[in-house]
Amino acid sequence: MKKIWICLFASSVLSSCHIYRAYEHPEVAVSDSLYRQPVNAADTTSLASLSWKELFTDPQLQQLIKIGLNHNTDLNVARLKVKEAEALLITSRLSYLPSVSLTPQGTLTSKDGSKTSKTYNLAASADWEIDLFGKLLNSKRGAQAALEQSEAYRQAVQTQLVATIANSYYTLLMLDEQLDITCRTAETWNESVRTMKALKRAGQATEMAVAQSEASKLSVDASVLSIKRQINEMENSLSTLLGMLPQTIGRSTLQAQEFPDSLSTGVPLQLLSRRPDVKQSEAQLAVAYYATNSARSAFYPSITLSGSAGWTNAAGAVVTNPGQWLLSAVGSLVQPLFNRGKNIANLKIAKAQQEEALLNFRQSLLNAGAEVNDALVQWQTARQRILLDEQQTASLRSALRSSELLMKHSSQNYLEVLTARQSLLQAELDAATDRFDEIQGVINLYHALGGGY
């Protein structure tokens, strides 16, 4: 009866201090207001549900992503961290088992030149800590949460890697497009310089017009060199990201890229299960929760059972032969008495770290929502700008043709032709930039929603 009362008392104490209570998801106000644009609560379709192979259909980009997933240094380090966490979890689970050790011992004794006596012990000992107050349980649960955190970190590194490779690849395509536009413009300026020199010889143009055309041509040539430098730097950066030596990157063209005409974000609640960094923050919160439980369990005694068994030829001070069995069993209970202040301080630290982890988790969710909003607006704005770019480019081409005709058949100043060509060049470059911005919006939205792993 006494044992029953002791068990009931211990159970009530344990339940009151939550030592055995498992981690529960915190209550976070996740609603449609996380996205600034209205969201249908029943529509759970999300861009993140697509695999990166389905979203990035360019075969050359797919090959680059595969190389990056196999050879990127940061991702391989993240994989090793997962293995480390798995090993720590195995260690915490093995703590439930008794520790067994073999302790053979031999002794030679001689007193005042007497005959040497020989004794020996061939024994094995075992220690087993009884987890009555949840110390080992919380350690195991904390190791499991740490493993989930490491796995979420690996996923976060992978999603970032896929997005970075895609961004770098499409940046190269944009630079290729800009280089092509600039080179074609340079050829036009070469023709213009030759034309102006011929007109000058015929007395129909001034030296100033020739100098202006040559200066414009040199400016475009300088832009070509600058774009080529940017291409070289981007190829080097991408090669390093892929774990390769700097080299030329094979690629397609910007016009050949295809993406969905409409993008769906799903509901905000899906960010909890799809965003690796959000999952990582919550796993860190779980680690802090179990660390707090472990700090509480330090106030309670630890119970250890020890025992040894073996074969010996020594029994006390009397040497006997042949040998005999040696058996022993010990139970110990250690109750902390003089380090209560230290345990209280450790518990306060653990509670503060748990509160920090909770704040970081909530902030990570807010950051995720902001990134989704920014990426969606970037994509929508770029699509609207592309339509305006097409109209502007068409108008500028028409204006350039008119100014060139007027210059040939009237007394119009060549400066107006120069201005029209520069405006058309800038408009075509802006169109390429906006097309890249549209693609980048898709990539950023895909990454913000947790796609890519």
Query: In tens digits, what is the pLDDT along the chain, a chain of 453 residues?
Result: 444 445 444 544 544 456 788 888 887 765 556 666 665 555 567 888 889 999 999 999 999 999 999 999 999 999 999 999 989 888 888 777 777 777 777 777 766 666 777 777 777 777 777 777 778 888 888 889 999 999 999 999 999 999 999 999 999 999 999 999 899 888 888 887 887 788 778 777 778 878 888 888 898 899 999 999 999 999 999 999 999 999 999 999 988 898 888 877 777 777 777 889 889 999 999 999 999 988 888 888 777 777 677 666 664 444 444 556 555 666 666 666 667 788 888 899 999 999 999 999 989 888 888 888 888 888 889 999 999 988 988 888 888 888 777 766 665 566 677 778 888 888 888 899 999 999 999 999 889 888 887
- The whole-number pLDDT of residue 37 equals 66
CB atoms within 10 A of CB 219: 13
Q: In what order do the strands lie in the sheet with 117-130?
A: 99-109, 117-130, 302-315, 318-334
- The whole-number pLDDT of residue 12 equals 44
**Amino acid sitting at position 346:** N
- The whole-number pLDDT of residue 411 equals 57
- The whole-number pLDDT of residue 38 equals 61
Alpha helices in 202-303 (DSSP H): 207-241, 271-274, 276-297
- The whole-number pLDDT of residue 227 equals 94
- The whole-number pLDDT of residue 246 equals 92
Q: Let me know if domain 9-96+132-173+237-300+340-448 sits in CATH 2.60.40.10.
A: no
- The whole-number pLDDT of residue 321 equals 44
- The whole-number pLDDT of residue 198 equals 81
- The whole-number pLDDT of residue 11 equals 47
Burial 248-259 (b: 16+ CB within 10 A, else e): ebebbebeebee
- The whole-number pLDDT of residue 333 equals 60
Distance CA 409, CA 403 (A): 10
- The whole-number pLDDT of residue 76 equals 93
Distance CA 248, CA 236 (A): 8
Residues of the chain with CATH 1.20.1600.10: 9-96+132-173+237-300+340-448
- The whole-number pLDDT of residue 17 equals 55
Q: What is 97-130+301-334's CATH number?
A: 2.20.200.10
CB atoms within 10 A of CB 202: 8
Distance CA 421, CA 402 (A): 12
Alpha helices in 31-129 (DSSP H): 52-55, 59-71, 73-94
Residue 407: exposure state from Cβ atoms within 10 A (0-12, 13-18, ≥19): buried
Residues of the chain with CATH 2.20.200.10: 97-130+301-334
